[in-house]
């Protein structure tokens, strides 16, 4: 039996485009001699559909699309994911399911049992877990079909009390197929391979796993679909961050060594870079936008975002706005101009001194006798926010936010100023990682000026200002933030690692009192195991660690 894995980029709720793409790849798989072509979890509607699932019309459109796909499953079968109605009154109204389509019909339905409700997942909000399991017979082979999380209950600390494969194995299947929507993080590819390999080895069956690619607002899918033999050895690996379709001979997976090539594994920074490019591209393409605007300060954060945007959208579609203040250094303006010239993007210079002076005049009586402080600094940041939003309104540009994860974590940013934007490009990238990204972007030629990379970071909102005036050095700050955010370590546990107590308490307090700001930031492209946004839910008025 020849099995095609179709790793595609879907668009949530775009039934016409998704259906067309699936049908095209059924035809492609057929030309390549496949007997069965496998698509991803909820491929029909896109993942995650969230509260679209609460609309009956949405579910009806899913079924209509699947029926259209079925018409093209003649002389070839396919497996495709979609939500289906639960006919039992008790429980949730839907199942997260997969259709097995053959001979122009729905021949079998498999329902997902293990419904993740953690981090970015919220499936139990919508779906009823399956309790009955049955293999699918096709061309003399018995298929144990599961959906994503159904194979993830295999570690030393299982999250669920049972596993679907423990039931399906009783029917003596010949192979496993798992369809997934497995979001990207720069640590997830290794974890994914480890978990799936353990399944193949435990049940002593070859395993075919298909993921999807593409970005759905903040969630990015990296592809990397996989094939394992019955010993758990990785036999094949599809592309990362790109659509792909490959056909595999079931007998060759077991009997032929090194038949299928593996793509070169990317470093963490390479993965983050490619994920952010894909995230920008899909946010714009799927939202119907084409042109971006951002504030370009001469600092490293905006420089990296500008470079990423130009690669993702084309330099002709990116407007960089330089907004020097009376505190901006000459080299900052020159660094920003050098970047714009290196990369070829559009740019405008709009000084903010006149606007800041006007606010000083308007507020003179109210602020009489009071020294210059954070209020005046934030006015300058908000003037900049107003300018780039005006450019967005006037020309139809979409504003890119340039705040990094370190700043987002400790609240080092101005609401309605530098924290505004439609999408946060590097809000899940620590400052130390931003420097690594800049060096990677410059690997072939100098795009980001070297001075931008080596100079001390500064907001330039008061004389001789540096980030280190307000924050610990980033190499220390980021390590403590990683322990707290990604590894969920509290004060005592971090101090026990040797970090100074006062410093740890100060940093964790800043993280927690800045929660109100993060509630008002744009969605952030997720590249780490724990990003700000829907995957990290904290109360604003909580007292813990404050």
Residue 517 in marked binding region: yes
In this structure, is residue 317 part of a structural domain?
A: yes
Reply yes or no on whether the pLDDT at 468 is more than 80.
no
Residue length, the chain? 546
One domain, residues 276 and 253:
no
DSSP 203-252: HT--EEEE--EEEETTEEEEB--EEE-TT--EEEE--BSS-EEEEEEHHH
Residue 144 carries which DSSP code? E
What's the pLDDT tens digit per position in 219-232? 999 999 999 999 99
Residue 296 in marked binding region: yes
What confidence tier does 458 reach under pLDDT thresholds 50, 70, 90?
A: confident
Reply yes or no on whether the pLDDT at 545 is more than 90.
no
Q: Encoding tokens for residue 243?
A: 């659509």
In this structure, is residue 146 part of a structural domain?
A: yes
One domain, residues 172 and 34:
yes
What residues contact 414, with CB distance under 8 A and at least 6 apart? 377, 378, 381, 382, 385
One domain, residues 76 and 157:
yes
pTM for the model: 0.95
Confidence (pLDDT) at 459: 64
Residue 298 in marked binding region: yes
Residue 417 in marked binding region: no
Reply yes or no on whether the pLDDT at 460 is more than 70.
no
Residue 299 in marked binding region: yes
Give me the active site residues, please: 41, 112, 148
In this structure, is residue 180 part of a structural domain?
A: yes
What's the pLDDT tens digit per position in 379-432? 999 999 999 999 999 999 999 999 999 999 999 999 999 999 999 999 999 999
Residue 378 in marked binding region: yes
What residues contact 398, with CB distance under 8 A and at least 6 apart? 284, 287, 289, 291, 292, 293, 392, 422, 423
What residues contact 5, with CB distance under 8 A and at least 6 apart? 37, 38, 208, 209, 210, 225, 227, 238, 244, 245, 246, 248
Confidence (pLDDT) at 452: 93
What residues contact 10, with CB distance under 8 A and at least 6 apart? 18, 21, 40, 43, 45, 46, 47, 212, 214
In this structure, is residue 349 part of a structural domain?
A: yes
One domain, residues 161 and 135:
yes
One domain, residues 20 and 63:
yes
What's the pLDDT tens digit per position in 180-196? 999 999 999 999 999 99
Chain center to CA of 466? 31
Cis peptide before 48 (omega within 30 of 0): yes
Reply yes or no on whether the pLDDT at 470 is more than 80.
no
Confidence (pLDDT) at 257: 64
One domain, residues 248 and 290:
no
In this structure, is residue 505 part of a structural domain?
A: no
Confidence (pLDDT) at 329: 67
One domain, residues 325 and 254:
no
Alpha helix locations (H) across 346-411?
Answer: 353-362, 374-395, 405-410
Residue 406 in marked binding region: no
User: What's the count of helices (H) and strands (E) in the chain, helices before strands?
Assistant: 17, 19
DSSP 296-318: --SSHHHHHHHHHHHHHH-GGGE
- Contact criterion met (CB below 8 Å) for 390 and 348: no
Residue 344 in marked binding region: no
One domain, residues 252 and 275:
no
Domain's final residue, options 471, 493, 508 = 471
Question: Three-state SS for 454?
Answer: helix
One domain, residues 224 and 104:
yes
Residue 494 in marked binding region: no
More confident: 259 or 358? 358
CA pair distance 213, 275, nearest whole angstrom? 10
Q: How many domains does the chain have?
A: 2
Determine the average pLDDT of the residues in 443-465.
Answer: 83
Q: Which residues pair with 108 in a beta bridge?
A: 100
In this structure, is residue 482 part of a structural domain?
A: no
One domain, residues 214 and 294:
no
CA pair distance 439, 433, nearest whole angstrom? 10
In this structure, is residue 518 part of a structural domain?
A: no
In this structure, is residue 103 part of a structural domain?
A: yes
Domain extent for 111? 2-258
DSSP 123-141: GGGTBPPP-----EEETTE
Looking at residue 467, which CATH number applies to its domain? 3.40.50.620
Residue 118 in marked binding region: yes
531 to each of 53, 119, 278, 292, 431, how far by Cα in Å? 24, 9, 17, 23, 14
Q: Percent of the chain, pLDDT > 70?
A: 97
Reply yes or no on whether the pLDDT at 198 is more than 90.
yes
One domain, residues 224 and 334:
no
Highest mean pLDDT among 2-16, 361-375, 530-544: 2-16
Determine the average pLDDT of the residues in 146-166.
Answer: 91
Looking at residue 89, which CATH number applies to its domain? 3.60.110.10
Domain's final residue, options 205, 223, 258 = 258
What's the pLDDT tens digit per position in 14-27? 999 999 999 999 99
């Amino acid at each position: 039996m020849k099995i095609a894995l179709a790793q595609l980029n879907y668009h949530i709720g775009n039934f016409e485009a998704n259906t067309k793409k699936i049908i095209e790849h059924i035809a492609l798989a057929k030309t390549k001699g496949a007997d069965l072509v496998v698509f991803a979890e909820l491929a029909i509607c896109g993942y995650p559909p969230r509260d679209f699932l609460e609309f009956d019309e949405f579910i009806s459109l899913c079924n209509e699309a699947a029926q259209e796909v079925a018409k093209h499953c003649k002389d070839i079968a396919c497996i495709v994911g979609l939500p289906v109605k639960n006919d039992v009154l008790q429980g949730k109204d839907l199942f997260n399911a997969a259709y097995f389509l053959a001979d122009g019909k729905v021949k079998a339905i498999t329902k997902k049992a293990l419904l993740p409700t953690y981090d970015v997942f919220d499936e139990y909000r919508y779906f009823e877990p399956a309790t009955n399991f049955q293999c699918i017979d096709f061309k003399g082979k018995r298929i144990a079909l599961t959906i994503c999380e159904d194979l993830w209950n295999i570690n030393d600390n299982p999250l669920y009390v049972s596993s679907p494969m423990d039931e399906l194995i009783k029917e003596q299947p010949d192979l496993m197929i798992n369809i997934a929507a497995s979001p990207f993080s720069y640590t997830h590819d290794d974890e994914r391979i480890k978990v799936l390999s353990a399944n193949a080895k435990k049940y002593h069956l070859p395993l075919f796993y298909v993921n999807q690619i593409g970005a759905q607002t903040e969630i990015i899918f990296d592809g990397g679909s996989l094939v394992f033999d019955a010993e758990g050895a990785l036999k094949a690996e599809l592309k990362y961050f790109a659509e792909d379709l490959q056909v595999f001979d079931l007998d060759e997976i077991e009997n032929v060594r090194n038949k299928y090539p593996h793509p070169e594994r990317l470093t963490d920074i390479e993965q983050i870079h490619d994920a952010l490019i894909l995230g920008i591209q899909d946010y714009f393409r799927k939202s119907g936008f084409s042109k971006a605007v951002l504030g370009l300060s001469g600092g490293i954060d905006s420089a990296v975002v500008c470079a990423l945007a130009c690669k993702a959208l084309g330099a002709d579609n990116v407007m960089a706005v330089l907004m020097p203040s009376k505190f901006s250094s000459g080299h900052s303006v020159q660094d920003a101009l050098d970047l714009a010239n290196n990369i070829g993007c559009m740019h405008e210079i709009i000084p903010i001194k006149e606007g800041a002076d006007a606010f000083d005049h308007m507020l003179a009586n109210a602020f009489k006798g009071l020294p210059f402080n954070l209020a005046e600094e934030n006015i300058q940041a908000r003037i900049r926010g107003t300018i780039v939003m005006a450019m967005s309104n006037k020309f139809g540009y979409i504003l890119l936010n340039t705040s990094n994860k370190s700043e987002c974590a400790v609240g080092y940013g101005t609401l309605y100023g530098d924290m505004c934007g439609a999408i946060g490009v590097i809000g899940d990238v620590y400052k130390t990682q931003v420097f690594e990204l800049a060096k990677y972007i410059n690997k072939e030629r100098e795009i980001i000026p070297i001075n931008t990379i080596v100079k001390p970071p500064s907001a330039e909102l008061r004389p001789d200002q540096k980030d280190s005036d307000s924050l610990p050095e980033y190499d220390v700050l980021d390590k403590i933030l990683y322990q707290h955010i990604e590894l969920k370590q509290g004060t005592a546990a971090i101090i026990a690692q040797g970090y100074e107590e006062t410093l740890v308490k100060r940093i964790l307090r800043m993280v927690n009192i800045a929660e109100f700001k993060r509630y008002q930031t744009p969605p952030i492209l997720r590249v780490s195991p724990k990003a700000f946004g829907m995957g990290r839910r904290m109360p604003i008025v909580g007292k813990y660690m404050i």
